Chain A
């Protein structure tokens, strides 16, 4: 249904065969058209325009119908989403890496993942497969369904596969990424096993790209060598902001995020808060412990006042 309207719009907006080709490619779910640097400025703009219109026309719930025109999951934070390429979020058919420094930081890592998955589950049907090695479970514990529910992620959507070795995890992940019935595949492999190299992650990325699925590689205490992931996020805990009615207590879950690799856009540091009830992220003002951003680094006002991007030296470079 909607595909036709998108096509009409795309044809009406632009003109000529190239636009039509792009629209057809988009409907067929070939995301390569948009991530290909050679596509050109015009196609990218067209994609962004239809994406915004989609939000106006049909709020939520249709991302799965047209995988190439909308991200599978976004942060709902324009300043952050915009760094993730023209789609404004994690694109379908891509592999992303989420790492934390130490095993005691696994809470923040899982929190960030659970929040992303909660947003994803809202707009995409299907089950989420969470593959973990047994060693990950012994070290940092198993997923606790009541905790996931309290975080806004429906435990019924989740299937856990606990495997013996990183090799098994990678094999299962390849199979799962090929399946169109999965909403997302989480691959949790702690540390830096040798098998988790460029070749293995490239295989995952290719499978994801072919099926338009989303792979999230979760690495507790992972050093983050070269992988084929589109982005790498380093997650850490951040002091929460207490609620006004109970100043001594804990606030909403909060994270420090470093986008330290991004093939399609700029890098950056962010501090964000997760609201499990509304399934929404919010940017936090600078944490007292962190370096204060200089006003000059602030982006245009369109991003809203709460944005805290302190662009790192690597900003703007394309790192693949």
Chain B
């Protein structure tokens, strides 16, 4: 057979494709779950309250299967009272492209003729049942339940109940379900992202009304654009404080869209635009009337939202005290949008003392060649980034010991076995003696000697870590 080409199955690729299809299926209902029943690809959609939008259940099924087919996917779809019944019918009763709607109460007859494997993913149990002549679901349904449960486990009877509609197992949606959703399906696809923006603006207005009725403001929202060819563009936006200002929302969406360096490819256009509220918080209706400082703070929060939408929130940071005594972890950067807590303690600087910490800290300590009077003495001159500095004034040392409780236990070493340079140890594990120095031209630096002479190393190394004002 010379034409036969063997291709290895690609589970990860299949999974990605299924997720993309699931994304696309969001257009029918926000409640889409991935179905990994017995290792076969499937999707479960909760369409409660949805079909009338698409001309009834049968029309909805047909539409889904037809649209998937035009994108090259063979599918079958069934609607039933429980996910298990729909799954069993779609997988085992329908051919490619098939569609069936099972009316409420008809589940039993619909699944009775199907193989047991349609509701039970446990292969060995299915085989054991088959040896007893119980091959079809109908065979099991005729048997007394207590006996089946005793012999084959309670979950088998539960699966039977699910299949015939006696027990419901809700679909687990793969995406968070939005609080409020506004969407528009234009008659003709929108050819451009800017057209979508116009639609999104009116969606934002209707969401703002909905939020106002609930006395809420938006914290997080997602907008999604469905391309005609089946791919979905989804982006999230967030606000620093609850808001239902449609103009602000539109602005954030705009920033987000414009931040895309490559731009969003509209393909053949977009046929569905949706804006969903993912998180909302109470917002006092009178809060629109701010004054003074409050207004300034609200303005600033909006600025942070806008910059964050374009630059990415993590790039806007406030400093919070870190939990470590090491200078490099003395401060941690937190996203600017998040609420203030663990604020920096407000202390007046000590009177008549030069600042103890530098204004700038280098990303990592940079090695410097240093001349000191003694191996453990004060620095006299040093070379940093190819320039030589004569030390005029010096204060120190300030000893910053490594946080021994975070380090592995190392046995003590004798002097002759000691490493020459501290690199052999570890910068994080060496004791540091910090010095504030001022050089001849009035520049001030923070330098340290790493490694205790005679105890940790025979040749301490010097580093420049910070720059003083």
Contacts and interface: CB of A to CB of B under 8 A. Distances in A.
B393 A180 contact: no
Given A158-B319, A239-B438, A276-B355, 8 more contacts: A107-B444, A114-B469, A147-B466, A160-B318, A180-B296, A240-B442, A242-B393, A254-B442
Contact of A142 (B340, B360, B394): B360
Given A142-B361, A155-B319, A111 B468 contact: yes
A140 B387 CA distance: 15
B360 A107 contact: yes
Contact of B316 (A125, A138, A160, A171): A160
- Across the A-B interface, the 3 shortest Cβ-Cβ residue pairs: A111-B469, A181-B300, A237-B442
Contact of B469 (A115, A137, A158): A115
A252 B444 CA distance: 11
Interface residues of A, number: 66
A3 B467 CA distance: 43
Contacts of B297: 126, 181
Given A107-B360, A107-B444, A249 B466 contact: no
Contacts, number: 209
Interface string A154-184: 1110111111000010011001100111100
Interface centre among B293, B299, B301, B319 (most CB of A within 10 A): B319
9 contacts: A107-B443, A150-B356, A154-B344, A159-B318, A161-B311, A237-B443, A246-B395, A248-B393, A251-B354
A142 B357 CA distance: 13
Given A110-B469, A179-B299, A181-B303, A277 B348 contact: yes
A137 B363 contact: yes
A232 interface: no
Interface string A117-154: 00000000111010000000110111111111111101
Contacts of A140: 360, 362, 467
Contacts of A108: 442-443, 469
Interface string B87-107: 000000000000000000000
Contacts of A179: 299-300, 302-303
Contacts of B355: 147, 150-151, 253, 276
Contacts of B307: 161, 172, 175-176
Interface stretch (B13-21, B212-220, B267-275, B330-338): B330-338
B331 to A, nearest CB: 4
A310 interface: no
Nearest to B299: A181
Contact of A180 (B295, B350, B362, B468): B295
Contact of B319 (A125, A160, A181, A253): A160
A129 B300 CA distance: 9
B441 interface: yes
Contacts of B466: 141, 144, 147
B187 interface: no
A222 interface: no
Contact of B293 (A125, A138, A172): A125
Contact of A250 (B349, B357, B395): B395
Contacts of B353: 243
A160 B361 CA distance: 15
A154 B318 CA distance: 12
Contact of A182 (B300, B316, B395, B445): B300
A158 B344 CA distance: 11
A275 B455 CA distance: 40
Contacts of B351: 277
Nearest to A142: B361
A127 B300 contact: yes
Nearest to B468: A107
Given A115-B469, A168-B311, A182 B354 contact: no
B349 A150 contact: yes
Contacts of A114: 359, 469
Interface of A: 104-108, 110-112, 114-115, 125-127, 129, 137-138, 140-152, 154-156, 158-163, 168, 171-172, 175-176, 179-182, 236-240, 242-243, 246, 248-254, 256, 274, 276-277
B469 A175 contact: no
Given A144-B361, A147-B360, A248 B394 contact: yes
Contacts of A143: 319, 359-360
A318 to B, nearest CB: 31
B248 to A, nearest CB: 13
Contacts of B260: none
B106 to A, nearest CB: 60
B282 interface: no
A115 B469 CA distance: 9
B344 A104 contact: no
B352 interface: yes
Contact of B363 (A141, A161, A163): A141
B438 A146 contact: no
A104 B466 CA distance: 11
B320 to A, nearest CB: 8
B380 to A, nearest CB: 13
B327 interface: yes
Contacts of A150: 349, 355-357
B346 A156 contact: yes
Nearest to A138: B363
A143 B362 CA distance: 9
A254 B468 CA distance: 11
Contact of A156 (B300, B310, B318, B348): B318
B69 interface: no
A250 B317 contact: no
B318 A105 contact: no
Contacts of B469: 107-108, 110-112, 114-115, 147, 151, 253, 274
Interface in B436-450: 436, 438, 440-445
Contact of A107 (B327, B340, B358, B384): B358
Contact of B354 (A142, A253, A256): A253
Given A141-B361, A142-B360, A250 B327 contact: no
B373 interface: no
A240 to B, nearest CB: 6
B317 A162 contact: yes
Nearest to A249: B395
Given A142-B360, A146-B330, A181 B317 contact: no
B316 A147 contact: no
A145 B438 contact: no
A200 B77 CA distance: 59
Contacts of B330: 144-146
A110 B300 contact: no
Contacts of A146: 327, 330-331, 356-357
B277 interface: no
Contacts of B262: none
B318 A151 contact: no
Interface string B148-191: 00000000000000000000000000000000000000000000
